[in-house]
């Protein structure tokens, strides 16, 4: 595992926020995305922000771009993993972080960055252990194809029916977690790929931690290389696995019953 970046001091009274950007063959967009994120984070005066680029398996020169960005900017860290998988990237970045709040966003920035402070506030100040962007709430604004809308809504209804969860959008690439959740939940998430998000939120709820749903503005990326139907099928198999695991383990919530709240 390669690691390029600088250490960041922690002034008293400010929270440390890591924003992870998992990447796979994104050399063509990484520069612009990081510039956009850095400009936005510079407006958040109550945070000590850091961008963590996690490259796992790229072969298009993403490594050179990531290393250059980390070398040029004190608030950018570049990590390189040999194996692919968004879940694997998030697990590694979060479990090795010393931040107070750990977030992630997809590199295409389909979700508006303006919603990021709400994610952080839910974790840092409102007692939630996970916060997730939702494209399916009444106040959300989504621009995407009918096929993706149909599959997304169907999948999330399936998750609720099988797992008995309350969060509205399991797979939006825009989430935040607390250090406590990373320590107690993330090591038990088995999936290394796209289902990581659903499994994480399900375990957070089932263990009595609190999840916050946040409506977002989301625009479909025309350059997305996600294989929608294959990913959906893998996710359905993951839901069945988690349901069986929950049934066998008979979870005993360690905290008050999970609640969902819009902020």
Given a contact cutoff of 8 angstroms between Cβ atoms, the answer to whether 1 and 95 are in contact is no
- Under 8 Å CB-to-CB from 217, ≥6 apart: which residues? 111, 112, 114, 115, 140, 141, 142
Same domain, 101 and 129: no
Quick one: which H or E segment has residue 228?
helix 228-249
Same domain, 114 and 92: no
Query: What pLDDT, on a 0 to 100 scale, did the predictor assign at position 255?
Result: 47
Given a contact cutoff of 8 angstroms between Cβ atoms, the answer to whether 33 and 64 are in contact is no
Query: What pLDDT, on a 0 to 100 scale, did the predictor assign at position 27?
Result: 96
Digit-coded pLDDT (tens) for 225-263? 666 777 878 899 999 999 988 877 654 554 444 445 555
Query: What pLDDT, on a 0 to 100 scale, did the predictor assign at position 190?
Result: 95
Same domain, 48 and 171: no
Active site residue 197: yes
Domain-terminating residue out of 109, 135, 153: 109
> Minimal CA–CA distance to 243: which of 182, 195, 186?
195
Find the domain containing 41 and state its range.
1-109
Given a contact cutoff of 8 angstroms between Cβ atoms, the answer to whether 167 and 122 are in contact is no
Same domain, 62 and 26: yes
Q: How far apart are CA 20 and CA 221, in angstroms?
A: 19
Same domain, 103 and 35: yes
Q: Rounded to 5 degrees, what are φ and ψ at 213?
A: -90, 130
Domain-terminating residue out of 109, 142, 166: 109
Residues of the chain with pLDDT under 50: 251, 254-259
Same domain, 224 and 260: yes
Query: What pLDDT, on a 0 to 100 scale, did the predictor assign at position 256?
Result: 44
100, 106, 121, 197: which one is catalytic? 197
User: What stretches of the chain adopt beta strand conformation (E)?
Assistant: 2-4, 15-23, 47-56, 76-81, 101-105, 130-134, 141-143, 174-178, 211-215, 217-219
Domain-terminating residue out of 109, 141, 160: 109
Q: From residue 7, how far is each of 2, 14, 74 by CA, in Å?
A: 15, 16, 7
- Under 8 Å CB-to-CB from 255, ≥6 apart: which residues? 207, 208, 209, 210
Same domain, 80 and 121: no
Same domain, 142 and 228: yes
Query: What pLDDT, on a 0 to 100 scale, did the predictor assign at position 120?
Result: 97
Same domain, 157 and 239: yes
Digit-coded pLDDT (tens) for 173-189? 999 999 999 999 999 99
Same domain, 199 and 116: yes
Domain count, the chain: 2
Block residue for tokens 């936005």 = 40
List the CATH number of the domain containing 71. Answer: 3.90.550.10
Same domain, 126 and 227: yes
DSSP 3-state of 6: coil
Query: What pLDDT, on a 0 to 100 scale, did the predictor assign at position 215?
Result: 97
What is the pTM (predicted TM-score) of this model? 0.88
Same domain, 133 and 167: yes
> Minimal CA–CA distance to 189: which of 177, 178, 201?
201
Q: How far apart are CA 35 and CA 41, in angstroms?
A: 10
């Amino acid at each position: 595992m390669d690691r390029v970046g600088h250490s960041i001091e922690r002034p008293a009274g400010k929270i440390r926020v890591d924003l992870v950007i998992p990447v796979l063959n994104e050399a063509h967009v990484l520069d612009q995305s990081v510039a956009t994120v850095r400009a936005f984070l510079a407006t958040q005066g109550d945070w000590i922000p850091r961008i963590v680029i996690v490259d796992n398996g790229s072969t298009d020169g993403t490594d050179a771009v990531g290393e250059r960005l980390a070398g040029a900017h004190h608030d950018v860290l570049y990590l390189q993993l040999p194996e692919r998988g968004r879940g694997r990237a998030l697990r590694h970045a979060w479990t090795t972080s010393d931040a107070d709040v750990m977030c992630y966003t997809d590199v295409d920035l389909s979700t508006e960055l303006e919603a990021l402070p709400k994610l952080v506030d839910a974790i840092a100040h409102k007692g939630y252990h996970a916060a997730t962007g939702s494209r399916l709430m009444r106040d959300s604004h989504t621009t995407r194809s009918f096929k993706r809308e149909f599959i997304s809504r169907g999948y999330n209804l399936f998750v609720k029916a099988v797992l008995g969860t309350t969060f509205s959008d399991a797979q939006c690439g825009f989430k935040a977690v607390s250090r406590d959740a990373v320590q107690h939940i993330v090591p038990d998430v088995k999936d290394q790929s796209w289902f990581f998000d659903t499994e994480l939120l399900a375990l957070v709820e089932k263990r009595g931690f609190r999840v916050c749903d946040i409506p977002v503005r989301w625009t479909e990326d025309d350059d997305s290389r996600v294989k929608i139907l294959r990913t959906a099928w893998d996710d359905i198999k993951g839901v069945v696995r988690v349901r069986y695991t929950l049934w066998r383990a008979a979870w005993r919530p360690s905290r008050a019953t999970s609640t969902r709240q819009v902020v």
